[in-house]
Structure 1
Amino acid sequence: MRIIHPPKPGDYPEYAVMYMKLLPTDGLILKYLQNNFYRVKELIYSLPETTLLRRYAPGKWSIKEVLVHIIDDERIFAYRALRFARNEKQNLIGFDQDSYAKYSGGDARDLDNIFEEYEAVRRSTIALFNGLPEEAFDRMGHGTGTANDATVRALAYHIAGHEMHHYNLIRAKYLTM
């Protein structure tokens, strides 16, 4: 897999620093994405079903809903990366993650089904970034307002950091109850 050097400040929105700081800087982000899929899967399959449906506080998502959220976010940010890589000039609208989680039906889904989708999306994401021309990684795309501008490179790191953010939250908030 190719090396994709980390983004620099200014390549991503300010909020995304919380994801960037969770990642290695060796440029092996695609390998990291591949390995972390298995890391997440191993943790989740070690948990009983009752834990997968647990919410650490009222109004918070269950672990199954978190997994579907990770998939949705990855699919959306990979799509943004594709558009930005192809030099799309139209601004992209955001998405309401809480509404997506509410209507995901995550709690009713079989864990094997969730991970089948998760793996398919992850393979697609890795293939997308692995096949982009080198010059595409520094193309800046625009979301709703300049607070959501990002380079293609930053979106690869966003996807990986977002996953690790939720992995860490699962370990810290759901497994300590």
Structure 2
Amino acid sequence: MRIIQPPKPGDYPPYAIMYMKLIPADGMVLKYLQNNFYRVKDLIYSLPKERLLHRYAPGKWSIKETLVHIIDDERIFAYRALRFARNEQQSLIGFDQDAYAKYSGADKRDLDNIFEEYEAVRNATIALFNGLPEEAFDRMGHGTGTANDATVRALAHHIAGHEMHHYFLIKNKYLTI
């Protein structure tokens, strides 16, 4: 798997530091994407079925909704990476993650079905980043307003760090009761 050096400050929006710091700065982000998929899957399959619908507080997502959110976010950020890698100059609009979760139907889905989609999206993400020309990783793209600009390399790390952010939330918030 290819090495993708970590992003530098200025390569990503300020909020994304919370994701960047969860991934080691050794350039092995694609290996972490591959391995952490199994880390998440092992954790989730170790839980009783009823726990998958648990919400740690009113208005929070269930574990199944969180999994589908991870998939949605990865799909969206990989698409952004593709556009930025191809030097798209049009700004991208954001998305309402809460509406996506609300309308995902995640709680009614079979867990195997969720992980089938998760794995397919993950494999596509890794293939995308593996196939990009080296110079594409430093291309900066534009989100909603300049506060959401990011390089392609930063988006690879965002995807990996976002997954770990939710992995730790599940472990620390959803499994404490």
- Give the TM-score range, shorter chain: over 0.9
- 1:155 alignment partner, SS class: helix
Q: Corresponding residue for 1:98?
A: 98
Matches of 1:32 and 1:172, distance apart in 2: 21
For 1:21 and 1:31, how far apart are their aligned partners in 2? 16
Aligned with 1:73: secondary structure? helix
Tell me, what secondary structure is at the counterpart of 2:113?
helix
Give the drift of 1:11. Answer: 0.1
**DSSP 3-state at the match of 2:68:** helix
Structure 1 CA distance for aligned equivalents of residues 56 and 95 of structure 2: 24
Q: Which amino acid aligns with 1:60?
A: K
User: In structure 2, what is the equivalent of residue 170 of structure 1?
Assistant: 170
In structure 2, distance between residues paired with 1:17 and 1:10 = 10
Q: Deviations over 1:124-176 (max 9, x none)?
A: 00000000000000000000101100000000000000000000000000000
Q: Check if 1:120 corresponds to 2:142.
A: no
Shift of 1:98: 0.1
Could you say which residue in structure 1 is the equivalent of 2:134? 134
Kindly indicate whether residue 32 of structure 2 is the aligned counterpart of residue 35 of structure 1.
no
Pairwise CA distance, 1:27: 0.2
Matched-pair identity in %? 86
Structure 1 vs Structure 2 CA RMSD:
0.3
Amino acid at match of 2:34: Q
Q: TM-score, normalised by structure 2?
A: 1.00
Equivalent position of 1:54 in the other structure: 54
Partner Cα separation in structure 2 for residue 156 and residue 21 of structure 1: 13
**C-alpha distance in structure 2 between counterparts of 1:18 and 1:31, whole Å:** 20
Map 1:59-70 → 2, pairs under 5 A: 59-70=59-70
C-alpha distance in 1 between matches for 2:160 and 2:154: 10
The whole-number CA distance in structure 1 between the counterparts of 2:147 and 2:25 is: 24
- For structure 1, the 5+ residue unaligned runs are none
Distance 1:14 1:20 in 2: 10
- Cα deviation 1:1-56 (Å, max 9, x = unaligned): 00000000000000000001111111010001000000000000000111100000
Secondary structure class of the residue paired with 1:120: helix
Which residue is 2:111 aligned to?
Answer: 111
Report the equivalent of 1:6: 6
CA–CA distance in 1 between the matches of 2:27 and 2:34? 14
Instruction: Please state if 1:71 is matched with 2:34.
Output: no
TM superposition score normalised by structure 1: 1.00
The alignment covers a number of residue pairs equal to 177
